[in-house]
Structure formats: structure tokens, C-alpha cells
């Protein structure tokens, strides 16, 4: 999902889908946290954009980068492991009352939950690129032209990647479509108490996997590839993808908070907690 990059060194949080989802998720959960027991929103957003997982690709390409792809139907991809890693990191940081570390873990945890629910990340992009015999440079960038390769073959591969319906073009355009669909639109979410209770039973990773399968079954990315962007896709982004993503982030944060030994703060409106941005 888009992190608000407008240049290699600058991000605009107002444009970033990750930042917007984090903001709504925080508003949805803040009444559950006791004072100074969970990082504030500004601390969390500090670790998105240039300081988030996508920023690694800019600041240190090819060093420590991990895959952001996950197929919910085959369960192939690193994202569940990354969610588990940062979830446990958040639990530990909260137990130690290390607010800076907790902010980092909360932000990166939210990032991978969001990417793992994004239809564009369900497509096995790396595998498809490998079929076109693309190799990666030492900076982890795809190299289209191979030594001694005929120009025609290079052009063919380039079109498969960057053409009108190329692999990377489609991925980027879908994410830009999601961003555009949400511009000027309020993301309104009500915390589902039954989902929170279910997540407490199955755990954060299994809860994430179940939510990801629900999104994958909508086949949004497949429809986008065949038909392009449409009003129906835009409506699904606003009414399904955005609320599901925000709620998943919020619920998994709450699970970490509880596992750290904290109790949820009493709130008269808890069962009807609503947030919007």
C-alpha cells in the first residue's frame, strides 16, 4: 500500500494510505488504553513513510529488505511471520514501558497487516517476474536487459513488466487507485466486539489470515487486471477494504496490549467505539 512518498527523501502523511489507516485505527483504540501505556499517534506515525518498511527500499536498497507479498489462499509469503515478529516485539516493548520501541513495533506491525490485506500484495509478483528471467542488481532492483540478449527480447520483457498491463504497472496502478478512491472520503469504522473476542481466541496471526482470505475471495485485483478501475472497485475499497484493514490493525494492537499484561480501560461507549478520518 502507498506510504506517501513524493520523492526518494520525502513523504506526505496526508497522502499515505498506511498513515491514514494507522490514524483511524489509533482513534478507534485510544479509549481502551490507560494513560501513557501505549505510544501516541505521532510516535507511531514517525515510523511510517521514510522510517517505515517501504523506506528501507529507498535508504538501503537490497539490505535487509523482506518480501511484502502474501497469498492468503496458499499461505505463501513472509507477511504472517513478520506480523508475529513485530507483534511479539510490541508486547515486549509494552511490558518494558519502552514507548519509542513500542511505537516502532506498532507502526511496522500495522504496515505488514495492511500490506497483507491488500489485494495487490496477494498476487505472486516475484514469481511472475522470475518467469520473465529478470535478475536483480546488488541494489535489489530488477534488471531487464541481459548481456548478449537480442533487443527484441529485452523490449518484450520490458513490456511484460512496465507495459499497459505489465506486472509492476498493474501493481502500482492498483495501489494508486486505492489511494485515489480514498482521497476526500471519510474512513468510518466501528469496532466489532465479536471480532475482538474471536481474535483473542485464535490469536493475531490466525485472525489476520482469516481476514486476508475474506479479502482475497473478493478477487478485486483480478477484476482490476481484466477491466481496469471501476466504480464498483472504488466502492469496495471504501466500504470493505479500508474498514477491514483499519479494524484488523486496531484489534491486533489491542491483542498485544492485553498480552503485555494491561487491562482495557473502562469506557461506557466501548461496544460502540467508532472512529473516522
90, burial (CB in 10 Å: exposed 0-12, middle 13-18, buried 19+): buried
Q: Is residue 194 part of a domain?
A: yes
Residue 70, SS3 per DSSP: strand
Q: Is residue 5 part of a domain?
A: no
Q: Is residue 4 part of a domain?
A: no
Partners of 143 in the beta sheet? 135
Residue with cell 465479536: 194
pLDDT at 64: 46
Q: Is residue 11 part of a domain?
A: no
Q: Is residue 225 part of a domain?
A: yes
3-state helix, strand, coil split of the chain in percent (to 5) is 60, 5, 30
pLDDT at 44: 98
Residues of the chain whose pLDDT is less than 70? Answer: 1-15, 56-67, 125-162, 164, 267-277
For the beta carbon of residue 64, count every other beta carbon within 10 angstroms: 7
Q: Is residue 9 part of a domain?
A: no
> What is the 8-class DSSP label of residue 123?
S
22, burial (CB in 10 Å: exposed 0-12, middle 13-18, buried 19+): buried
In angstroms, the CA 13 to CA 49 distance is 7
pLDDT at 14: 59
Residue 23: which CATH number? 1.10.575
pLDDT in tens, 78-132: 999 999 999 999 999 999 999 999 999 999 999 999 999 999 999 876 666 666 6
pLDDT at 68: 76
pLDDT at 105: 98
In angstroms, the CA 9 to CA 36 distance is 31
Handedness of CA 38, 42, 46, 48 (dihedral sign): positive
For the beta carbon of residue 118, count every other beta carbon within 10 angstroms: 26
Partners of 10 in the beta sheet? 7
- Domain hosting 136: range is 18-276
State the total domains in the chain: 1
pLDDT in tens, 5-20: 444 555 555 568 999 9
Amino acid at each position: 500500500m502507498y506510504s506517501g512518498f513524493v520523492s526518494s527523501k520525502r513523504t506526505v502523511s496526508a497522502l499515505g494510505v498506511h498513515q491514514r489507516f494507522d490514524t483511524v485505527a489509533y482513534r478507534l483504540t485510544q479509549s481502551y488504553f490507560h494513560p501513557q501505556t501505549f505510544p501516541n499517534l505521532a510516535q507511531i506515525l514517525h515510523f511510517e513513510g521514510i522510517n517505515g518498511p517501504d523506506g528501507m527500499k529507498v535508504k538501503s536498497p537490497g539490505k535487509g529488505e523482506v518480501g511484502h507479498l502474501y497469498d492468503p489462499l496458499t499461505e505463501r509469503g513472509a507477511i504472517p511471520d513478520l506480523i508475529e515478529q513485530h507483534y511479539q516485539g510490541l508486547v515486549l516493548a509494552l511490558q518494558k514501558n519502552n514507548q519509542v520501541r513500542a511505537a516502532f513495533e506498532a507502526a511496522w506491525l500495522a504496515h505488514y497487516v495492511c500490506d497483507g490485506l491488500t489485494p495487490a500484495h496477494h498476487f505472486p509478483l516475484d514469481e511472475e517476474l522470475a518467469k520473465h528471467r529478470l535478475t536483480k542488481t546488488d541494489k535489489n532492483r530488477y534488471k531487464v536487459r541481459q548481456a548478449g540478449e537480442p533487443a527484441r527480447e529485452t523490449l518484450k520483457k520490458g513490456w511484460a513488466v512496465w507495459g499497459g498491463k505489465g506486472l509492476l504497472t498493474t501493481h502500482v496502478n492498483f495501489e494508486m487507485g486505492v489511494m485515489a478512491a480514498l482521497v476526500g472520503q471519510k474512513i468510518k469504522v466501528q469496532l466489532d466486539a465479536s471480532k475482538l473476542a474471536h481474535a483473542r481466541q485464535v490469536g493475531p496471526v490466525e485472525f489476520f489470515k482469516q481476514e486476508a482470505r475474506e479479502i482475497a475471495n473478493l478477487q478485486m485485483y483480478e477484476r482490476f487486471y481484466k477491466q481496469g478501475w471501476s466504480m464498483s472497485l472504488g466502492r469496495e475499497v471504501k466500504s470493505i477494504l479500508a474498514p477491514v484493514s483499519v479494524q484488523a490493525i486496531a484489534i491486533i494492537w489491542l491483542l498485544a496490549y492485553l498480552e503485555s499484561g494491561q487491562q482495557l480501560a473502562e469506557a461506557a461507549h466501548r461496544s460502540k467505539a467508532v472512529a473516522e478520518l
